[in-house]
Structure 1
Amino acid sequence: MKQHIAVIGGGVIGLSTAYALIRAGHRVTLIEQNADVGLGASYANGGQLSYRYVTPLADAGIPRQALRWMLKSGSPVSLRLRADPKQWRWMLSFLSACTRTTNRRNAKVLLQLGLEGQAEMEIWREEGLKGFLWRQPGKLVLYRNEAVFRKAVSGIQNTTLERALSPAECAEIEPAFAHLTPNLAGGIFSPEDEVADSHLFCKALKAALLDAPGFQYLQEKATLAPDTNNTCMLIVGGRHLEADQIVLAAGLNSRKLAAPLGIHLPLYGLKGYSLTLRPLPETLPSVSVTDYDNRVVYARLGDALRVAAMVDIGAEDTSLNPKRLASLRALVRQTLPQASTDHSPDSPWAGLRPATPTGVPIIGRSKCDNLLLNVGHGALGFTLAAGSAVRIAQLVAAVHTDGV
């Protein structure tokens, strides 16, 4: 039996969820409070679909490394401590997850979810979803530190899907970074990883959904309130919206929306930055590249280059920090001088990634029988979106089968 499902959130997670549910034959209402879809954390992220490179930030040695970073100007991670219980709870949970065993367990969960998403995205593209600059150039992760590189190589499980490379081999894979060869310990290349524009993907999903029977799009503010029989009520634009089930997929805002229900989501906004450059076409790298030690990603999207980096813990808004942007521009000049911002203008952006302490998103039922959660994807939202959407569609079917 098909149902009416309300999805809260018009970012890459909410739209993918709505699309998967429509494909399953359900009637779907998508609610987004912003002027259009994909304007939050989905807008100008790194553009990498890193299905095989999904290691959580929480890992053994990260706290010590982060302390060194925070004492260094222009570091990949910054921390601003606040008198905020949510921040302290999140950080304590994060620290408890910083073990090798926990990291490997969570990495396996994310890898499976990512691979499920890659398979689903292929189906969606074959069915005609397009217009978001998708390519499959592979991903090259560059390592400057020998010990870190050896540790990464030891984690390779499939040498066909992930190959360890010498510095010279890295230069052959992506000549645009060849000048870094003397400073590299090596690299790992994943030939099946992809790139695409997340914001254009959101717009493509919206267009496809608007053409689908049984879909409704509401640009309104949504709230949730307790209802009878262990359920919750969805209020949209001040009116009660009837739905068989509700999916909460509103990014960081999900924390506020769930609170009146007594659901305290362990989400925290990790602020990240990006630059979108349009250098000369011949200077653009083809392969998707991650500079691991500086935590900077480079992805060619059509005639543009997306450069994304940095984690600001404790930032409360998406304002553009001039010092952080200056640091990112300096890294581009050093790492890819032919495409640096000195030679072409750039479009800066900052967004709050809704992260759980472990890096594993929350996908499942809530304490309210009619509410499902699809939140907490952090910096991997685009990569995990399709896989998460399929799992929600499976849960919707299971909820009906169980008679809940």
Structure 2
Amino acid sequence: MNASSSPGHVVVIGAGIVGLSTAWQLQRDGWQVTVIDREQPGAGASGGNGAQLSYSYVQPLADPSIWRQLPKLLLADDSPLKFRLQMDPHQWSWGMRFLAACRTGVSRDTTARLLALAAESRQAFEAMLAQEELSCDFSTTGKLVVYPDAASFDSARRQLDLQRALGGQAQAALSPSQCVDVEPALAHYAQRFAGGIHTPSECAADCLKVCLGLYERLKARGVRFELNRQVTRLLKRGDRVVAAVTDAGEMAADAFVLAAGTSSARLGRALGLDVPVYPLKGYSVTLPVGDTPGQAPKVSVTDIARKVVFARLGDRLRVAGMAELVGENRQVTAERIDSLLATTRDVFPQVDTSADAAPWAGLRPATPTGLPLVGRVADAPVNLMLNAGHGALGFTLAFGSAARLARELRRPA
């Protein structure tokens, strides 16, 4: 495709929040769009994620502090971050790159780039919400990140200073009592943490509801969905992909977007591409809550020590956490769900955890540095774009990534 040509037919592989936001943007740009997914919209990592839109808190997992935590990550059964080494060259390669990225300079550069993408994504997401009027339990009640001890709180304040210097949203370092002023439901827990970082501008929403709403809007506008279809490979001729080969036949198009989450690595490798995306397994529960003051948080809360997030979704509370490098395993582990429920009782004891908790596990597609792969990559076919590797920030970064990819697709290769 050249700069003067009109948009043609584009196939988007993946119907999670990243793929659907890409389809939404490309359809608006005039492309004929087909979306292919092996499951239903939002059924993968988008379905039960942490629900927080963390535009200002984007510190990558690849951080220098990982080095001192490494023995626990490798050996402790109760660690919220868990590595389980397997006979998998892709896991080993990803892990070595991840450790190499755990350096101050890399973390700083990644933070700057993520903040810029997050700011663009906030603008694009809120514009989409205004246009589409999706019902998704969207809220703008802010976010508190609480830290267990003085050392971790000091590190958080340094990160706050860095993000402030890089143009991040207004944030404040608060004492435990000030945190309780912001979120009274933390009163019971205030003696257990050293302080918190408050970002009043942060948001939350139900990502699955966004996915399903976009699906309905796009389908009504003529976007074709091929669901429950497994893409087995991309067929290449010369320097172009000519078709996505599925278990139901071939789908030809002018351009292709690989937004298939953790499957992006497999499909890329079949073309000889280096796509360093590996699954970080996470878990969530979703609990019913009432309007009793102080029972459940209204503000989104992240407990850094436990690597658990709490986000209010209307009359529900989403509790999500953990990061396990255990390969393509989406089994819901009872011990992890029990851990999330125990954490909820500990932090917010007035929340009833005896109700159906809708236990969920999903695979967050992560790159070693934490930066997603957006656009063309080295040695890729000229009409193939990637939009993958967003890790735990997929919901946060989806619409900014879609906007960037759409701009690049307009430019000649």
TM bin (shorter chain):
over 0.9
Say whether the 8 Å CA contact 2:144–2:301 is kept in structure 1: yes
Match status 1:80 vs 2:91 = no
Equivalent in the alignment of 1:186:
195
> Which letter maps to 2:11?
A
Partners of 1:174 and 1:7 lie apart in 2 by: 41
Match status 1:135 vs 2:139 = yes
Give the TM-score, by structure 2 length.
0.92
Match status 1:244 vs 2:248 = no
Cα distance change on mapping 1:341 and 1:392 into 2, 3 Å: same
Say whether the 8 Å CA contact 2:367–2:389 is kept in structure 1: yes
- Give the C-alpha shift of residue 81 in structure 1: 1.2
**Secondary structure, counterpart of 1:132 in structure 2:** coil
> Which letter maps to 1:275?
V
C-alpha deviations, 1:285-316, integer Å up to 9, x for none?
10000011111100011111000011111243
Say whether the 8 Å CA contact 1:232–1:261 is kept in structure 2: no
> Which letter maps to 1:199?
L
Partners of 2:37 and 2:73 lie apart in 1 by: 37
Structure 2 gap ranges (5+): 1-5
Equivalent in the alignment of 2:173:
164
Cα distance change on mapping 1:161 and 1:307 into 2, 3 Å: same
Structure 1 gap ranges (5+): none
Partners of 1:382 and 1:250 lie apart in 2 by: 14
- Give the C-alpha shift of residue 217 in structure 1: 1.4
Say whether the 8 Å CA contact 2:73–2:83 is kept in structure 1: no
Partners of 1:276 and 1:389 lie apart in 2 by: 28
Percent identity of equivalent pairs: 42
- Give the C-alpha shift of residue 265 in structure 1: 1.3
C-alpha deviations, 1:311-355, integer Å up to 9, x for none?
11124311111222222222111111111424x331111111111
Say whether the 8 Å CA contact 1:66–1:77 is kept in structure 2: no
Equivalent in the alignment of 1:347:
358
Equivalent in the alignment of 2:3:
none
Q: Which piece of structure 1 moves more, 155-164 or 40-49?
A: 155-164
**Secondary structure, counterpart of 1:246 in structure 2:** strand
Q: Which piece of structure 1 moves more, 246-255 or 149-158?
A: 149-158
Equivalent in the alignment of 1:30:
35
Say whether the 8 Å CA contact 1:129–1:208 is kept in structure 2: no
Say whether the 8 Å CA contact 1:266–1:357 is kept in structure 2: yes
> Which letter maps to 2:399?
A
Say whether the 8 Å CA contact 2:142–2:299 is kept in structure 1: yes
Equivalent in the alignment of 1:371:
384
- Give the C-alpha shift of residue 70 in structure 1: 4.9
Give the TM-score, by structure 1 length.
0.94
Match status 1:262 vs 2:272 = yes
**Secondary structure, counterpart of 1:281 in structure 2:** coil
Partners of 1:205 and 1:270 lie apart in 2 by: 25
Equivalent in the alignment of 1:154:
158
Cα distance change on mapping 1:160 and 1:244 into 2, 3 Å: closer
Say whether the 8 Å CA contact 1:46–1:298 is kept in structure 2: yes
Partners of 2:313 and 2:285 lie apart in 1 by: 12
Partners of 1:92 and 1:86 lie apart in 2 by: 10
